[in-house]
Amino acid sequence: GQVFHLEDYKPTDFLIPETHLDFRLHPERTIVKSTLKIERREGVALDTPLILDGDELKLESICIDGVALGDNTYVVTPDRLEIRGLPEAETFTLEITTEINPTANRQLTGLYRSSNVYCTQCEAEGFRRITYYLDRPDLLSVYTVRVEAETSAAPLLLSNGNPGEKGTLDDGRHFAIWHDPHPKPAYLFALVAGDLGVITDTFTTASGRPVNLGIYVEHGKESRALYAMDALKRSMAWDEEKFGREYDLDVFNIVAVSDFNMGAMENKGLNVFNDKYVLAEPDTATDVDYAGIEAVIAHEYFHNWTGNRITCRDWFQLCLKEGLTVYRDHEFSADMRSRAVKRIAEVKGLKAHQFPEDAGPLAHPVRPRQFREINNFYTSTVYEKGSEVVRMIRTILGAETFRKGMDLYFERHDGDAATIEDFIKVFEDASGEDLSQFALWYDQAGTPNLAITYDYDQATKTFEIEIEQSLKPTPGQPSKKPMHIPIQFGLLGTKGREIRPRATKGGLVKDDVIHLRKRKERFTFSGITERPVPSLLRGFSAPVTMTSELTRSDLAFLARNDRDEVTRWQALTQLLNSKLTSNSKRVRGGKPATIESSSIRLLGELAFNNALDEAFRALCLNVPSESDIARELGANIDPEAILGSRDALILAVAEAHGEKFEQLYNELEHHGAFNPDAAGAGRRSLRNVLLDYLSVADGNPKRASKQFKQANNMTDRAAALNVLVQRFGTSTATNDALQAFEARYGNDALVMDKWFVVQAMQPGESALGKVNELMKHQLFSLDNPNRTRSLIGAFSSGNQTGFNRADGKGYQFFAETILTIDKKNAQLAARLLTAMRSWRSFEPERREHAREALASIASVAGLSTDVRDIVERTLA
């Protein structure tokens, strides 16, 4: 396949200042008439052809300035329309009519149907599946859209911008016209038509603009959209307060659909959402679902400025809008909830998804320099690491200068299709600093490691920290330069007292931030009267790993005393990880796991410490997952041994603290109404992690079964079901609970996804049979991304022992399934396939099976570009 390169960027020869679209919707034969005002750029030769992108289009007619084009003046190929012999005038009007089939469109990009609702998904390159166009983000146009459909099938007709004229036609059809005054790239175009329920509300912006808000959902589900509406209004207010950004249209609409490739899409004034990120009620959604809805609603709304008003010059700049918008939604959630708990959740996510990506064959820079398929670059590196890079800019410059830089960004680039260079420049101009070394974060793939040594000299009262950074080679990048790494820190004295150094020598230290800029640098602190315990990387100030010579007792000291909860949690995690990894090796060697009492005591202290946030205590009790341990081991992974090691720790802790855990579990029971706020969620998360420990200690499913039956909300119900399946998979209690769940929610596919997930995650060899059986369930379909992700995605990316079976059957099944999915939905297939990116870290037997499965995919002719790209890079 063709490879696209960043350095090949060239502006278009033609502009399209105005785009008029006329849709005659029909399930199988939709007619799209596009009328484009085209302008030749100055200096472009008159014989330069106009080359428009297209994909799976049937061209009906083509006219210029009202005259049909002769056959020999244009060429149509599967992916483009090339028009020669254009008028000499600087501007002309091009009219193109195409026919498309929304019902047959199972790729879910372009115009398609989801449960009879017409909807669109155009990012990145879906608009070319609707009509021939200059489908690239730097081509901005003002859109006017007329949508016409059968009134009974589609009483609702939506597009971007503000509503205009509408009316009925005599043949049972009607139409609506929408006009979006803000020039936008084609990827932000959207259209929705169908029969949906709605909830409405209003928001008045700081400068007094009234905005009508609408959230459209399946009839009967309106009440489940209220939380999303609340999150939307909070997002609008927050963006005004924290970034000075107001909304800019008279309406803001959100539509929830049940067939969607990703989470949601920020189309101008008309966000289209996966219903998973809109619909929530206490009985159907967990606390995690609520937090996800709040974050995604905010994320898409924030794109209105970071993405839509200022868009990307080309797709290599994707992190310009995504990294920045993730950073904004993280800050929003931190303000809405507990900042520390939110930050720890982000760190966990980053380590679970981004670090492995950066350490494996799919590693790529935050701003990639080449791609074969852009859809494969909507990755956690571009999104999450991209957000961390923005966070580091704020850490380096300070909150106030960061805000100045953001203000300058909005002022200078509003209406632009911008680049990462533009973004960095506003911060250089706002601060007067040179950020050229910092900019390497956008270019160098891989997670830097910091090797840290300490030296305390009692005689001179100096404390020295020496840090050496290293970054391993990644695909296409054999050697790397040293980066600018901001390390937020503190020095702890007796009882955790914060020690303030009198002065610093060596590398740059500003306030509480060490600025590491050389490969190896020394930072010397004077006036330190006792040997301190250093707390490094507070707030997880940089996406790096650390190897330090802190002792187990230093780590335990930090876990008990650090005032920064992120480093506190990190210290505990490091302590547990070293035990869990060494025990995994012991178990693999046939020896029993050993647990020392100091860790057990420490976990107990944290669990029972009422001064701490309940959510934080739950995070501490949630010991590193099987995949966390696998990542720490890095090589020769045996998932069965890891599971053994982890279960041994949980059992030892449960047995030591059983009684007090039970008391706490009972105390935490809440009898009032459900509240999805941070406090309620924190309490439930602590109680539910205790349920797991207690069930392990009890050795029977009674307690979980009781909680399952008595729960008055989905968080507690799903947690109990999870314990039942994970710990007592074959018990009658588990079967009863699964049946009860199905009986209650069997008509609600979105809720049933939880039922698919929990079973796909059941540990051990039996999972594969279960997954095969569930694929035949009447609610299951490989045509629907949420169903597919719940069963196939959870199994392959979440079930360590079930998927990575020693006999390789999990991989074989997966390879066959990926091939089936690829024929329907290439994007989904490629995304799922990334579950195998860490195949080289397994022990030799599994590694060989994984290689065979990947090779069996690669050997198939006619793979999609998406899957071909992932499988070849994974094997390379």
d(CA 874, CA 876): 6
Determine which residue in the list 22, 266, 614, 692 makes contact with ligand B3K, applying CB under 6 A.
266
Query: At closest approach, how far in Å is the CB of 278 from Zn ion?
Result: 16
What Å distances lie between residue 820 and 398, 785, 816, CA to CA? Answer: 51, 13, 6
User: Applying CB under 6 A, does 259 fall inside the site for ligand B3K?
Assistant: no
* β-pair type (311-312, 417-418): parallel
User: Applying CB under 6 A, does 841 fall inside the site for ligand B3K?
Assistant: no
User: Applying CB under 6 A, does 358 fall inside the site for ligand B3K?
Assistant: no
User: Applying CB under 6 A, does 385 fall inside the site for ligand B3K?
Assistant: no
Residues 766-785 contacting ligand B3K, CB under 6 A: none
Cβ distance to ligand B3K smaller for residue 120 or 734: 120
The answer to whether residues 93 and 122 touch, using CB atoms and an 8 Å cutoff, is no
For the record, the structure tokens of 406 come out as 């953001």
DSSP 252: E
d(CA 840, CA 641): 17
Determine which residue in the list 378, 402, 409, 780 makes contact with ligand B3K, applying CB under 6 A.
378
The answer to whether residues 253 and 301 touch, using CB atoms and an 8 Å cutoff, is no
Determine which residue in the list 300, 512, 562, 716 makes contact with ligand B3K, applying CB under 6 A.
300
Query: At closest approach, how far in Å is the CB of 89 from ligand B3K?
Result: 37
Extract the runs of DSSP E, i.e. beta strands, from 10-57.
Answer: 14-24, 30-40, 50-53
d(CA 270, CA 285): 24
Extract the runs of DSSP E, i.e. beta strands, from 208-250.
Answer: 210-217
Which listed option, ligand B3K, Zn ion, none, makes contact with residue 53 (CB within 5 to 8 Å by class)? Answer: none
Fill in the per-residue mask, 76 to 115: x = in contact with ligand B3K (CB under 6 A), - = not in contact. ----------------------------------------
Residues 677-706 contacting ligand B3K, CB under 6 A: none
- Stretch of residues binding Zn ion (CB under 5 A), selected from 89-97, 319-327, 460-468, 774-782: 319-327
- Stretch of residues binding ligand B3K (CB under 6 A), selected from 99-107, 296-304, 574-582, 842-850: 296-304
User: Applying CB under 6 A, does 229 fall inside the site for ligand B3K?
Assistant: no
Q: Which residues of 583-615 are buried (b: 16+ CB within 10 A; e: fewer)?
A: bbebbbeeeebebeeebbebbbebbeeeebbbb
Q: 70: buried, middle or exposed (CB in 10 Å: 19+, 13-18, 0-12)?
A: exposed
Q: Is the CA virtual torsion 375, 379, 384, 388 positive or negative?
A: negative
Which listed option, ligand B3K, Zn ion, none, makes contact with residue 378 (CB within 5 to 8 Å by class)? Answer: ligand B3K
Query: At closest approach, how far in Å is the CB of 300 from ligand B3K?
Result: 5
The DSSP element (H or E) to which 660 belongs, if any, is helix 639-667
The answer to whether residues 626 and 639 touch, using CB atoms and an 8 Å cutoff, is yes
Cβ distance to Zn ion smaller for residue 292 or 658: 292
Which listed option, Zn ion, ligand B3K, none, makes contact with residue 358 (CB within 5 to 8 Å by class)? Answer: none
CB count within 10 Å of CB 100 equals 23
- Stretch of residues binding Zn ion (CB under 5 A), selected from 247-255, 317-325, 364-372, 750-758: 317-325
Cβ distance to ligand B3K smaller for residue 371 or 378: 378
Residues 389-428 contacting ligand B3K, CB under 6 A: none
Cβ distance to ligand B3K smaller for residue 326 or 850: 326
Cβ distance to ligand B3K smaller for residue 534 or 785: 785
d(CA 814, CA 822): 12
Q: SS3 of 26, please?
A: coil
Query: At closest approach, how far in Å is the CB of 781 from ligand B3K?
Result: 21
Cβ distance to ligand B3K smaller for residue 308 or 645: 308
Q: How far is CA 452 from the centre of its chain?
A: 31
User: Applying CB under 6 A, does 322 fall inside the site for ligand B3K?
Assistant: yes
Query: At closest approach, how far in Å is the CB of 266 from ligand B3K?
Result: 5
* CA nearest neighbour of 344 among 326, 329, 323, 330: 330
Which listed option, ligand B3K, Zn ion, none, makes contact with residue 124 (CB within 5 to 8 Å by class)? Answer: ligand B3K
Q: Show the 3-state SS of 777-826.
A: CCCCCCCCHHHHHHHHHHHHHHCHHHHCCCCCHHHHHHHHHHHHHHHHCH
* CA nearest neighbour of 260 among 160, 376, 119: 119
User: Applying CB under 6 A, does 375 fall inside the site for ligand B3K?
Assistant: yes
Q: Which of 95, 281, 294, 300 is catalytic?
A: 300
User: Applying CB under 6 A, does 555 fall inside the site for ligand B3K?
Assistant: no
d(CA 464, CA 506): 9
d(CA 85, CA 88): 9
Residues 502-531 contacting ligand B3K, CB under 6 A: none
Which listed option, ligand B3K, Zn ion, none, makes contact with residue 265 (CB within 5 to 8 Å by class)? Answer: ligand B3K
Q: What angle (nearest 5°) sits at the alpha carbon of residue 504, between those of residues 502 and 505?
A: 145
Residues 121-150 contacting ligand B3K, CB under 6 A: 123-124
Which listed option, ligand B3K, Zn ion, none, makes contact with residue 688 (CB within 5 to 8 Å by class)? Answer: none
* Encoded amino acid at 115, one letter: S
Active site residue 300: yes
- Stretch of residues binding ligand B3K (CB under 6 A), selected from 42-50, 261-269, 340-348, 502-510: 261-269
Helix (H), strand (E) counts: the chain: 29, 34
Query: At closest approach, how far in Å is the CB of 488 from Zn ion?
Result: 27
User: Applying CB under 6 A, does 384 fall inside the site for ligand B3K?
Assistant: no
Cβ distance to Zn ion smaller for residue 273 or 523: 273
Query: At closest approach, how far in Å is the CB of 494 from Zn ion?
Result: 47
Which listed option, ligand B3K, Zn ion, none, makes contact with residue 631 (CB within 5 to 8 Å by class)? Answer: none
User: Applying CB under 6 A, does 262 fall inside the site for ligand B3K?
Assistant: yes
Active site residues: 300
Interface residues with ligand B3K (CB under 6 A)? 123-124, 262, 264-266, 299-300, 303, 322, 375, 378
